[in-house]
Structure 1
Amino acid sequence: MKHCCLLLFLFIFPSYIRANQFAYYLSNVDHQAYRIDLYKKEIARLDSNSIWVFYHSLSTDSTYHPDFMKTAEFTVLQKKNTNRIHIFQECTNQIYVVDLTDFQLKRKDDTYYRGDNCLAYRFFRGDEIFSLGGYGFWRTNNHLIYFDKKTKEWEATNSKGQSPAGMYHGFVSFIPEKDVIVSFSNYFTDVSDDYGKLKLDQTIYQFSFFTKTWKKLGEITHPIIKQILEEYSYDDRQHLFYTGKYFVFEPSSNKNGIHKYYFINPRNFEVLEYNDLELKYARIALGVSQPQNPSTFRNGPLLLTVLQNPNPTSSDTFLLINFDELASRATFIGYLTDLPWYQSDWFYGVILLLLASILILFMKRIKPKRKKAMASDSPIQDAKLDIDLTSLRLLKSILENQKEDGLAIDEVNRILDIENLAFDTQRYRRSAMINQVNQTLTLLTGEKNSIIRVNSEEDRRQKRYKINPNCLELLQKKLAN
């Protein structure tokens, strides 16, 4: 009898200590929550009383060989326009697929070991399944791996460039139209570095499938978002999600009252803020939801939540939210790479413009003083006007006619006593005399040409001679003395 009881106990007891076997998903069709029991091979649906009720059984074949960890957690992906649910066991990347058309349950991989991909980011790229980052073996990683359907194993994707040190509890998104991955604000750690301390990397990275290259796009510098993400606890990050268009997360202060939600578009890094001033979502608590007993269920932009504090005036126990639609009513507050005003380009531009203006004003104020000092202090300009009488008479005649369109060529010829010479000889002698006077005056005025030739205002074909305005005042004073 004792032996019979012992055998019965050995058969019954394992059923109470077996691993978690539940995977949850939100239906694309009826927007209701479902639970897949991978041990019992059946699907249950969450009814209006928040009770799981039997929905449909699942059939398997001889190849179905589940292998669950005692603390197993599952991530569910639903590829668009299909009836297949892909289930990934965390930390092992085992793949189970449920076909909702014929209710078949199959295991797709031959993985037999525990991996380093706990809480990795998984996504479809066409018909291929990829997994990125995660934690395992006492460290985070930045590995991009894909599932090989032929070998039924995970294989690595080789890459180059500036990749993040680790990708864990961060913001990661695959953008299919650009065929790139964008990621930022990731944790990384290694047990052999700084005692395994978790470190936060606020760098923005991008991986191109075309070039197989990682590169840095910049840093998170938006003052509000940078502070929130630094305070955004490790546990809170389990509840952020990607709608396919926006990252959605709520700050740690979302405990009671008015809730805030932040949206980040990884395609252009715009940041939106939504304040629930009407208290529509005050009864939602994303942080209450646990992986093994969830109260929220997500599918793309849709989130179905079990209301924590039922309203006595309403029979509703669930609330369905489209976060893409909610983002359309949010307020734009800048870009992820925005700098504080005192570090922005426009601020530096204003400072540079101000400095340039001050420099110009300063130069304008000291330039007349420098000229005045040169006029009064220069021993050259203090020298006497030492030229011959003919040149002196010419200079005085030009000054007397300065305000009356200058001195005519005929008058110059008369003063120089060359009026009876041939035309070409007149021009040669006149030019030589004026050049000689200009050379003499250069030491006094600092100008190469103190006497200049200009067009007549009455007849531009006629030439006249005037004193260079830059040395007019000086020559007037010298001739007056």
Structure 2
Amino acid sequence: MKLFWFILFFFLVPGFIKANQFAYFLSSKDHHAYRIDLVKNEIARLDSNSNWAFFNSLKTDSTYHPDFMKTAEFTVLQNTNSNIIYIFQECTNQIYVVDLTNFKLMRKDETYYRGDNCFAYRFFRGDKMYSLGGYGFWRTNNHLIYFDTKTKEWESVNAEGQAPSGMYHGFVSYFPEKDVIISFSNYSTDVSTNYGILQLDQTIYQFSFFTKTWTKLGKITHPVIRQILEDYSYHDRRHLFYTGKYFVFETSSNRNGIHTYYFINPRTLEVLEYKDLELKYARIALGASQPQNLSIFIHGPWLLNVLQNPNPESPDSFLYINFDDLAANATFIGFLTDLPWYQSDWFFASVLITLVSLLILLMRKIKPNSSHKEALKPHIQEVKWDIDPTSLRLLQAILTNQNTDGATIDEVNRILDIENVAFDSQRYRRSSMINQVNQTLALLTGEKNSIIRVNSEEDRRQKRYKINPNCLTLLQSKLNN
């Protein structure tokens, strides 16, 4: 009998246990961080000892009907000069509203399904709420939708033009003075295209509410910023923030010590750089804050950082910064659309002039010499063989199976030690490794793709990896030596 009650308790009790459902916001009025508990219906405030202290309870009425996912994440939006806090549940776009005047908690929408707007960009256009892009149903999207207060549902905005294929973990901002949206450096993915690999689009887009049209403004060509954004993982981009004037981010290598912050003004596409040489902000890391252990709170240009190891000689346990003021002391380093020096017009002009001058000089003083010309040709085989052990094992495995059906995907996963990671991560890391090896071998073999993917002869739905026949002999000789 005891065993029966134990089993009953084991299966029934977890159904009554609810995960914590917290939404956080930073008050621009008193500069305190607050936490809204959507399960207990109460607000807590972060005290000077970095503890959440009860602040006020929240009232609800009979119309309040929450619908939280167990792993829900929330985005908070505060309208300017308002006591209203808007809370969006990610991936559903459910809207919960807290009125700080009467401490009432309400739900505004009638959404009953799971949506495709995980980590979408949300903003106010006047008094109307909009949501743009996001992820869901195994793909990203570029949908612009608005919340209809009459139907209490999200409705789409019809548009035309050259829209980004997906808008996910990118830079997006709305300019009310021009009534336009600027967006760039977006990720997109679709499981039915290119095996669902995340694609980074460095194009700069603009949407006009007046014409309902997307247009392309150019590409990100600034050599420093383009490289930083390509190296940035899409997970790290969750820590980027927009002050209302600047996008603020730092390189993924900025963890401790001297920090370098980059500011992008989306209205002018100016790029600024701030180096914290005085170590004023050495204990801040934009990417260190996690949902389970928040240490950074942001609202507009203001950032509140909870000091993990405060100075015992100082009573301060927080650091409060206005990043717009920080940008005023930053150094201008160009525009997003600046070309690297080796791609600029003046560089090509100087190269052209130099080449013409050398050609004239050679034609006057040197007779054609076929043997000399032959000596000038680059010898691909003399390129230095420099390849890491993992890539070497991968090549050896593929060569071993070259005369059969080729190396299988499972064999490649085993060599890369990614057998136990998620399927999507396997594809991404496998593709990244193959591309890396091909880039390394390009100078040696003269081929863009030394490793190629082919259909299995036994089952054309399965893929195999083989060595490009054009460089098979060269790679065999290199590996044998």
In the TM superposition, what is the alpha-carbon distance from 1:13 to its structure 2 partner? 3.9
Q: What does residue 190 of structure 1 align with? A: 190
Letter of the aligned partner of 1:48 in structure 2? S
Aligned position for 1:128:
128
1:220 — aligned with what?
A: 220
TM-score, structure 1 length as denominator? 0.71
SS at structure 1 position matched to 2:287: helix
After superposition, the Cα gap between the structure-2 partners of 1:87 and 1:315, relative to the gap in structure 1 and judged at 3 Å, is: same
The CA distance in 2 between the partners of 1:80 and 1:87, in whole Å, is 15
Q: Quote the residue 2:180 is aligned against.
A: 180
Q: Distance in 1 between matches of 2:30 and 2:259?
A: 27
Alpha-carbon distance in 1 for matches of 2:166, 2:216:
14
Give the CA deviation at 1:75: 0.1
Q: CA deviation at 1:247?
A: 0.2
AA matched with 2:23: A
Aligned position for 1:463? none
CA distance in structure 2 between the aligned counterparts of 1:157 and 1:178, rounded to whole angstroms: 18
Aligned match of 1:21 = 21
Check whether the contact 1:20–1:68 (CA below 8 A) recurs between aligned residues. no
Equivalent pair of 1:260/1:276 in contact (CA under 8 Å)? yes
Q: What is the match of residue 50 of structure 2?
A: 50
Give the match for residue 257 of structure 1.
257
- Cα pair 1:161 1:214 within 8 Å, conserved: yes
3-state SS of paired residue (2:298):
strand
How many angstroms does 1:235 deviate by? 1.6
Q: Is the 8 A contact 1:22 1:292 kept in 2?
A: no
Structure 2 partner of 1:92: 92
AA partner of residue 237 (structure 1)? R
Displacement, 1:343? 1.5
Seen in structure 2, the aligned counterparts of structure 1 residues 73 and 220 have a Cα distance that, compared at 3 Å, is: same
Separation (CA, whole Å) in 1 of partners of 2:102 and 2:246? 33
- Percent same amino acid among aligned pairs? 75
Decide whether the 8 Å contact of 1:20 with 1:73 is kept in 2.
no
Mapped to 1, the partners of 2:342 and 2:90 lie a distance apart of 44
Q: 1:286 Cα deviation (Å)? A: 1.9
Task: Deviation per CA, 1:229-262: give whole Å up to 9, x if none.
Answer: 0001122101001000000001011012101100
Deviation, structure 1 residue 77: 0.4
* Contact in 2 for aligned 1:73/1:292 (Cα 8 Å): no
Q: Deviations over 1:32-73 (max 9, x none)?
A: 000001111110000011110100011011111111111100
Q: Structure 1: 5+ residue runs without aligned partners?
A: 366-481
Question: Aligned partner of 2:122: which letter?
Answer: R
Q: 1:53 to 1:11 in 2, by over 3 A?
A: farther
Give 1:80's aligned residue. 80
Asked whether the equivalents of residues 19 and 68 of structure 1 are also in contact (C-alpha less than 8 Å), the reply is no
Aligned counterpart, 1:333:
333
Compared with structure 1, are the counterparts of its residues 15 and 297 closer, same or farther at alpha carbon in structure 2 (3 Å cutoff)? farther
Task: Measure, in 2, the Cα distance between the counterparts of 1:250 and 1:345.
Answer: 30
| Aligned counterparts of 1:231 and 1:89: Cα–Cα separation in 2 | 29
1:108 aligns with 2:108: yes
Separation of aligned partners in 1, 2:198 and 2:14: 39
CA contact (8 A) 1:248 1:264 kept: yes
Question: C-alpha separation between the residues in 2 aligned to 1:169 and 1:190?
Answer: 15
Aligned to 1:434: none
For residues 97 and 24 of structure 1, the distance between their equivalents in structure 2, rounded to whole angstroms, comes to 13
CA distance in 2, matches of 1:66, 1:19: 14
1:117 paired with 2:127, answer no
TM-score, length of structure 2 as denominator length: 0.71
Shift of 1:208: 0.5
Q: Which residue does the alignment assign to 1:413?
A: none
Taking a change above 3 Å as real, the CA distance of residues 15 and 317 of structure 1, as seen in their structure-2 partners, is farther
Give 1 or 2 for the bigger CA radius of gyration. 1
Give the counterpart letter for 2:243 in structure 1.
Answer: T
Q: Structure 1 counterpart of 2:313, which letter? A: T
Q: CA deviation at 1:346?
A: 3.3
Once residues 291 and 232 of structure 2 are traced to their aligned partners in structure 1, the CA distance between those partners, rounded to angstroms, is 19
Aligned to 2:33: 33
SS at match of 1:71: coil
Q: What's the RMSD between the two structures over aligned residues?
A: 2.4
Q: Supply the AA of the counterpart residue of 1:176.
A: P
Counterpart residue identity of residue 43, structure 1: I
Q: How many Å separate the matches in 1 of 2:193 and 2:9?
A: 50
| Native 8 Å contact 2:123 2:129 kept in 1 | yes
Cα deviation, residue 353, structure 1: 7.3
Counterpart in the other structure of 1:66: 66
Q: Structure 1 131/343 Cα, relative in aligned 2: closer, same or farther at 3 Å?
A: same
Q: Secondary structure in 2 aligned to 1:39?
A: coil
SS in structure 2 at match of 1:286: coil
1:323-364 CA distance string (max 9 Å, x none): 0000001010000000011212333455677799999x99xx
CA pair 15-313 structure 1, distance change in 2 beyond 3 A: farther
User: 2:237 matched to which residue of 1?
Assistant: 237
Deviations 1:77-97 (A, max 9, x none): 000011000000000000000
